[in-house]
Amino acid sequence: MIKLTPSLLAADLMNLGREINSMLDHGVDQLHFDVMDAHFVPNLSFGPSFCRAIHRQYPDLKIDVHLMMDNPEKYLDIFLQYGASSITVHREAFEDPRPCLNKIRAGGALCGLSVKPGTGEETLLPFLDETDVVLIMTVEPGFGGQKFMPEQVDKIRFLRANGFQGIIAVDGGVNTDNAGLLKDAGANWLVMGTAYFRAEDPEAVARYFKENA
């Protein structure tokens, strides 16, 4: 089962209400929300109050928060309070991500653990039992619109071969051309920034997911 998760980073922010309304019209119920701290990644993006504003306006929209930051543990409470339905932290940010994962779950959201392209998939193994979502980065995190790294797909196969039955999300350069490959490898949530919000026909992208779910 694959699910489209458009990434806010590529949306037209001056017309965000219109962008979210059309997403909902296309039957899409989850938005990927990138948080960058200009340290863990070389860019800045959105903070908690923006998450709250979206959640207040669209309480049924699932907000999938991707924390590309150092010390993400300091921001879990606020994102839980402000409506995140899932929160992903990076493996590279900790020795032991368990306290974060457990806190996110206890707060009622799905907990996610992500690896950058250069981080080995085996570093996830000790934590899989406590992880709802593994997010595989298929670009270096920090910017939208980059080229998909196909060699990262092996990480998805590795996780399934090791018995991981949770959600596998993929983020970076994902589009309808590589979606089939990702689905076959065992991915579930496909994050798409450029390929959805900047598509000529975003509705056709959403339809692809309905037809190939």
Nearest to 88 by CA among 114, 56, 120: 114
Nearest-approach distance from CB 140 to ligand DX5, in angstroms: 7
Catalytic site residue 171?
Answer: yes
Strand order in the sheet with 30-36: 3-6, 189-192, 167-171, 133-137, 110-115, 84-90, 62-68, 30-36
Q: Does 7 bind ligand DX5 (CB under 6 A)?
A: yes
Q: Does 64 bind Zn ion (CB under 5 A)?
A: no
Q: Does 156 bind ligand DX5 (CB under 6 A)?
A: no
Binding mask 31-60 for Zn ion (x = CB under 5 A): ---x--------------------------
Give the whole-angstrom CA distance, residue 76 versus residue 100.
Answer: 8
The active-site residue, picked from 12, 25, 29, 34, is 34
- Which residue from 48, 83, 142, 202 is in contact with ligand DX5, where contact means CB under 6 A? 142
Total residues interacting with ligand DX5, rule: CB under 6 A = 22
Question: What is the phi/psi pair of residue 2, to 5°?
Answer: -115, 145
For residue 22, the partner it binds in ligand DX5, Zn ion, none, with Cβ less than 5 to 8 A by kind, is none
Q: Does 66 bind ligand DX5 (CB under 6 A)?
A: yes
Find out whether 168 and 159 touch, Cβ atoms under 8 Å.
yes
Residue the block writes with tokens 């309304």:
21
Give the whole-angstrom CA distance, residue 180 versus residue 198.
Answer: 20
What token pair was written down for 31? 């938005």
Q: Sign (positive/negative) of CA torsion 184, 189, 191, 192?
A: positive
Q: Does 42 bind ligand DX5 (CB under 6 A)?
A: no
- Residues between 161 and 180 that touch Zn ion (CB under 5 A): 171
Nearer to ligand DX5, 159 or 191 (CB): 191
Catalytic site residue 77?
Answer: no
- Given the rule CB under 6 A, which residues bind ligand DX5? 7, 9-10, 32, 34, 66, 139, 141-146, 171-174, 191-195
